[in-house]
Structure 1
Amino acid sequence: MPGVISVNIPIKGKVEHFPMLPACEYDGSQAPGTPCWDEDEDAPQGAFNHAEVMAAIEKTEDWMRSHPNIGFTGSYIQFLKIVNMLMMTPEGQEPDLKYFHVPNTEFIANNMDVYGDPEDPEWVPNANEIVTGFNGLLEANTNAGDLDSFVAKGWNEGVIMGFVNTMDPVKTHQTAKDIQQWFVNNKDEPGFDLVTWGFKSGDVVHMPESGKTIQIEDSGTTTMSVGGFLGATEATHDVAEVEYIKSPLVTALAIFIIAALIFGSPLIAAILTSTLLVTLFGQYGLGAYFTSVENWSGNLHFATLVSLSIAMGLGVDYGIYMISRLKEEMAVTGGKWKESLQNTLETTGAAVFASIVVLLASFIPLLMTQLANTWALGIFISEALIIDVVIALTIIPLLVYIFKPKYVFGDKK
């Protein structure tokens, strides 16, 4: 199914460079000697008032747009670059994309024809002051909340948002690795070293919308993580890979133990559990097929993990019905297998088949949705139902006849 995956890169100024002091109060409410920020005397606070940080964000966004797996991106930088272009294009001319750029020190030095003062050739404007001025201009001429999606009100936190244009799990995984490597390669470059990119395990994060503070679980890693659906996918990548083996095995073990206790027969429990493996590997095969045709809605990922346990649960239900009825019929017919099997198939077997048809009909609407995870659940469960009914009506009676468990045949074999 078509779709894109969002990717967000949070940005926050480092405390040692941007301490974000509280505003000075001159009414005596502040203790003497308390460090504070005077908006009239001190330079504006926040990483987004620093030209080199803005240039680093611009460089990162340009790199992201050049990446083969990343399409559209957006950040506060786009606003800043537009203002710079409009303000610096010579009067009377159409806006020149040459000036669609962050006005950092290097860019200003290369374009002194528009930034300089003809009456004072030696004067070079301060890049931070230009950025701060443009920020103030944007803040004054936009509605409340217009900029909040990209930059926080304190000008010290922001985000780069983008979209990965593939759902291929190999490519999305590589894209996340490429983003992480980009910041490793540029960690000492101007601007990059002044802010924290993304989050790391153990970080404490303040949620401005709710006012709450949360701490990211410390996994012992130092690699920066990205946000958005790409980040969520990566966070579950390793877990899902393990769970696709562990979760079904745990389910199978639980079914074996419960069945053995209910029927008082480890052999019956083994028959039921072994048939579930057919359903399980059928699901693995379906996921492999969708992977081979690059249908990433149906490959084995964390969202389809739940279908495995549901499929195994449905499968064991029908097996229990068939075995229980076979036991009853064997008692009624005096141990005549053929007659017992025929009666079982005509009664419980017919009910199982009807139940499967009804369940399949209920899952068909899920196959018509554009929601990838819902569609995947529908297709995986539908396949499992078909496998389950075949196993319940053919394989389970065959295994019961071959192994002749006492639960069904009694002491006579």
Structure 2
Amino acid sequence: MSEANRLWAGGNPQWLPLDLNKRAAYTTGMAVMFGSSPMNFSHVVNFVAQNSTVSLWYADNKQETVDHALASARKAVDQVGVDHPGFRIRMASGLIALQQAMNNVVHRYHWLVFGLVNLGIAVIAAIAYRSFAAAVLLLIPVNLSNFLQLAVMKTMGIGLDINVTIVAVMGIGIGIDYGIYLLSRIREEFHRHSGVWEATIEAALTTTGKAIMFTASIMLVGIAPWYFLSELKFMADMGLLLVVIMLINMVLSLVVLPLLVWLIKPTFIRTRDETTDILVGKGQVADDGNRVAGL
């Protein structure tokens, strides 16, 4: 309406503001809709131009903003009342309301999802290593990284929504990979170093540990530009979260997992890996730790 009023006034910007106390403002509104279908303006006014839509715009959809918006809406409803002759006021949907609904679902099922993921990893790890202790050792660094990630999100003002939950679950998958690589290497090196735990862990860190650090660093370098170059907030936040998750998982896998193995000294490490024995066979072990099959 204001733009139409300006154009009909010769394009003079002084006619851009509308004086709602004057009949000209309403005449302008009807002139804008003249010659077109009223359905084209259904997002603003109803078909007979008697009831209009009031839209409120917010800077973001963070939980604090959503809570403030819904509190203001409920306060307004309480002030004008709910039941009126001929109609009843009800809280409707919208971007803010949908965001709150998604946040409620995430809050309700967030820990359930992580619990199921932990349960699945525990079962698979226990079967693979034939030890429940192996599953516990693998899950401790992963879950610790999850709590650190939530702390980083709180510090940076990133809310926990559906997208962040997916990335967090991906972080568990990345972290468990690092743990499996390192734990399997520790198990292999234990017999090569005659059961000396210090030498075993050192050998594992200087071989597979280097590979883990190299792989994680390459992925960090590739994903970090998302945060600085992407103009989409979703892509920027996801890039930042992925970098944080992979960095935390890498550090904890290389620090916490070897420390736990050294402190607990689990018995499954002492048992020989039959798969490794079959692959090595009568092979020789090179000085750099790489297994060379013997002919």
Q: Same fold (TM over 0.5)?
A: yes
* More strand per residue: 1
Computing the radius of gyration over CA atoms, which structure comes out larger, 1 or 2?
1
Change in CA separation of 1:101 and 1:178 when aligned onto 2, cut-off 3 Å: farther
Structure-2 residue corresponding to 1:348:
208
Task: Compare relative contact order (CA 8 Å, sep 6+) and give the higher one, 1 or 2.
Answer: 1
What displacement does 1:166 show? 5.4
Q: Among residues 152, 174, 199, which one is paired with 1:286 in the alignment? A: 152
- Structure 2 CA distance, aligned partners of 1:409 and 1:246? 35
What TM-score results when the alignment is normalised by the length of structure 1?
0.54
Aligned pairs, number: 258
Match of 1:25 in 2: none
**1-structure distance, mates of 2:108, 2:264:** 34
The answer to whether 1:178 aligns with 2:101 is no
**Counterpart residue number, 2:195:** 335
User: Offset of 1:232 from its aligned partner?
Assistant: 1.9
Structure 2 residue 116 is matched with structure 1 residue 250: yes
Task: Name the structure 1 match of 2:235.
Answer: 374
Given candidates 258, 263, 273, the residue that maps to 2:129 is: 263
Distance 1:278 1:248 in 2: 12
Shift of 1:100: 6.1
Give 1:250 deviation, angstroms: 2.7
Query: What CA distance in whole angstroms lies between the structure 1 residues aligned with 2:182 and 2:79?
Result: 63
Cα distance 1:156–1:320, how it changes in 2: closer, same or farther (>3 A)? farther
1:242, 1:370 → 2: CA distance? Answer: 31
Residues 271, 286 of structure 1: CA spacing in aligned structure 2 closer, same or farther, 3 A cutoff? same
Which letter does structure 1 place at the counterpart of 2:22? Y
CA 1:270/1:157 → structure 2, altered by over 3 Å: closer, same or farther?
Answer: farther
Q: Is the 8 A contact 1:276 1:312 kept in 2?
A: yes
Q: Hey, what's the Cα distance between the residues in 2 that align with 1:332 and 1:356?
A: 27
User: What's the counterpart of residue 224 of structure 1?
Assistant: 91
| Percent of residue pairs bearing the same amino acid type | 19
Richer in helix (by share): 2
Return the letter of the residue paired with 1:281. F
Are the structure 2 counterparts of residues 188 and 377 from structure 1 closer, same or farther at C-alpha, using a change threshold of 3 Å? closer
Q: Show structure 2 runs of 5+ residues with no match.
A: 10-17, 273-295
Q: Any stretches of 5+ residues in structure 1 without a counterpart?
A: 1-77, 87-94, 104-132, 198-222, 292-297
Q: Which amino acid in structure 1 is aligned with residue 217 of structure 2?
A: V
Contact in 2 for aligned 1:315/1:385 (Cα 8 Å): yes
> Do the aligned residues in 1 keep the contact of 2:138 with 2:179 (CA within 8 Å)?
yes
Corresponding residue to 1:98 among 13, 18, 21: 21
SS in 1 for 2:224: helix
Alpha-carbon deviation of 1:409?
Answer: 1.7
CA distance in 2, matches of 1:390, 1:284: 16
CA contact (8 A) 2:62 2:159 kept: no
**2:161 is the counterpart of 1:301:** yes
Alignment counterpart, residue 267 of structure 2, candidates 406, 409, 412: 406
- Give CA-to-partner distance per residue, 1:165-210, whole Å, 9 cap, x none: 4555224312112213323432468xx754565xxxxxxxxxxxxx
The one-letter code of the counterpart of 2:155 is Y
CA 183–404 in structure 1, closer or farther in 2 if over 3 Å, else same: same
Compute the RMSD of aligned alpha carbons. Answer: 3.3
Does the CA contact (< 8 Å) of 2:61 and 2:99 recur in 1? Answer: no
CA displacement, residues 124-149 of structure 1 (integer Å, 9 cap, x when unaligned): xxxxxxxxx99876543447865243
1:14-33 mapped onto 2 (5 Å cutoff): none
Query: Structure 1 residues 157 and 359, CA, compared in 2 at 3 Å: closer, same or farther?
Result: farther
1:160 has 2:15 as partner:
no
Structure 1's 135 and 339: CA in aligned 2 closer, same or farther, altered over 3 A? closer
Which residue type is aligned with residue 266 of structure 1? F
Give the 5 Å matches for 1:18-97: 97=20
Q: Assess if the C-alpha contact under 8 Å between 1:150 and 1:159 holds in 2.
A: yes
Pick closer, same or farther for the CA change 1:154–1:324 going to 2, 3 Å: farther
Conserved 8 A contact 1:176-1:226: no
| Aligned residue in 1 for 2:45 | 151
Check the 8 A contact 2:226/2:235 in 1, yes or no. yes
